[in-house]
Structure 1
Amino acid sequence: MRSFRSFTVLAVVATLAGCAGPRAVPPQLAAAFDEPYVLASGDKLRVNVFGQQNLSNSYAVEPDGSIAMPLVGRYKVDGKTSDQVRAGLEAKLKSGFLRDPNVSVEIESYRPFFILGEVTTAGQYPYVAGMTAQNAVAIASGFTPRATRDRVEITRRLSDRVYKAEVPLTYPIRPGDTITVQERWF
C-alpha cells in the first residue's frame, strides 16, 4: 500500500512538472529585439559604391567575420550594423583610393536559423524577416505527435555569450537562433 501511494505521488508530481509554463525569458534575450541587427558569419551583403561599378557587388561574411573587397582588402564586419560597415568602408576608400566615396550597404540575405527536436524535418533553414517560433515550426513541416506544442527552447548568441530560454510559440526569432522543440511526457 505504501509503495502505491509513493507511486501515485510521483506520477502526480511528474505530470505537474510537465505542465509548468515556460521559464522567464532572460532580459538580455528580450532586449535583443530593441537593438539594431548586427552582422555575423553567414550573412550576405550588397555593397554599392556609386560611380564605381567594379567595387559594387555582393559579399558574403566569411567565417572569420570579414568580407573581402577590392581596394579595401579584408574588412571586419562581425558585430557591426550595416550603417557602421558603410561608414567604415567610406573611410577606407577615402584614405587613398577615392576622393568622396558614397557607399550603401544592404543585407541581401540573413544567416540561417536551426530547428531540431520534435519536428518533422529538423535542419537549417533560411531566415525570413519577422519570423516567430511558430513560423519556424511550420517551415520544418510541423510538430511530431510527441511534441510539446505550447513552447520551444531558443538558444541565441549575443556578443560572446550564449543564452537559452523557453519561450511561447509567438516569440520572435532572429538569424542564427537554434530552436529546440521538446518531447512531451504525456
Structure 2
Amino acid sequence: MLTLRSFLATMALALGLMVSACGTTSPTAGARDAGVTTQSQIATAYTLGSSDRLRVTVFGHPTLSGEFEVDGAGAISLPLIGQVAAVGLSTVDLENAVATKLADGYVLDPRVSVEVINYRPYYILGEVGRPGEYPYTSGLTVQNAVAAAGGFSYRANKRVVYIKSMDGNQEVAYDLTPSTVVKPGDTIRIGERIF
C-alpha cells in the first residue's frame, strides 16, 4: 500500500512538471524550432578599431594635439612620437600609451585626453528596406538600425538577428529584443522568416 501511494505521488509530480513545462514559452521559441541557437548581445566597453576618428589632446601642447584616424594597420600617427597602436584599446588605454611615449624624453609629465569623434560605421543586410553602410551613434540598438535602414521587409524574421562583429570570424545569432545592441563595425543581417 505504501509503495502504491509513493508511486502515485511520483506520477502526479511528474505530470504536474510536464504540464507546467508545456505552458511556458520563450521569445525565441520560433528560432529554436528552426534550428538556430541564440544568445543575448549586451553592451560592453568600447574598444578602438580601424576608421575610428579620434581627438587627442595633450594639455599645454597644442602642436601635439589634433584629430587623428585609426588607420588600416590599427595605429594613429602622432607628432614627435610617430605610430601608436590603437586597435583593441579603450580610450583610457590609448591615453596611457600616448602619455608613456611622450614622457620618454619629449614632454615632462604629459596629460593626455582621447575621445572618439566619429565611430566606424556599421552595416546592415538582408530583409530591410535599404541595406547598406550607416554611421554609428552611441547607444544604437538593432531596432534603431533597422529603422534607419527603412524598416523590416514583409519577409523579415523579427525574432532573431545575425551579427558579425568586426573582430569576429563568423555570424552569431542573437535574440532580437529592444535592448539588442549594435557595436561600431558590426555587420547585421536580418534573416527571412520561415512560414
* 1:164 aligns to 2:178 (yes or no): no
* 1:24 aligns to 2:24 (yes or no): no
How many Å separate the matches in 2 of 1:148 and 1:24? Answer: 13
CA change 1:121–1:141 in 2 (3 A) is same
The two structures have a TM-score, normalised by structure 2, of: 0.76
CA change 1:79–1:24 in 2 (3 A) is same
How many Å separate the matches in 1 of 2:73 and 2:123? Answer: 20
How many Å separate the matches in 1 of 2:67 and 2:166? Answer: 25
Which of 58, 66, 81 in structure 2 is aligned with 1:72? 81
Would you tell me which structure has more strand in proportion to its own residues?
1
| 2:64 partner SS | coil
Partner deviation per Cα, 1:121-157 (whole Å, 9 max, x = no partner): 1011111111111100001011122222233211124
Alignment of 1:145-184 (within 5 A): 145-158=154-167, 162=170, 164-170=172-178, 171-184=180-193
How many Å separate the matches in 1 of 2:104 and 2:30? Answer: 61
Aligned-partner residue type, residue 25 of structure 1? Q
| 2:62 partner SS | coil
The two structures have a TM-score, normalised by structure 1, of: 0.80
| 1:45 partner SS | strand
Q: % of aligned pairs identical?
A: 39
How many Å separate the matches in 2 of 1:165 and 1:157? Answer: 15
How many Å separate the matches in 2 of 1:145 and 1:161? Answer: 29
Aligned-partner residue type, residue 181 of structure 1? I
Q: What is the deviation of 1:109? A: 1.5
Partner deviation per Cα, 1:15-40 (whole Å, 9 max, x = no partner): xxx933462317xx65xx34x21111
* 1:133 aligns to 2:142 (yes or no): yes
Which of 29, 51, 57 in structure 2 is aligned with 1:48? 57
Greater Rg over alpha carbons, structure: 2
Partner of 2:109: 100
| 2:101 partner SS | helix
Runs of 5+ unmatched residues, structure 1? 1-17
Q: What is the deviation of 1:101? A: 1.2
Aligned Cα root-mean-square deviation (Å) = 2.0
Aligned-partner residue type, residue 30 of structure 2? C
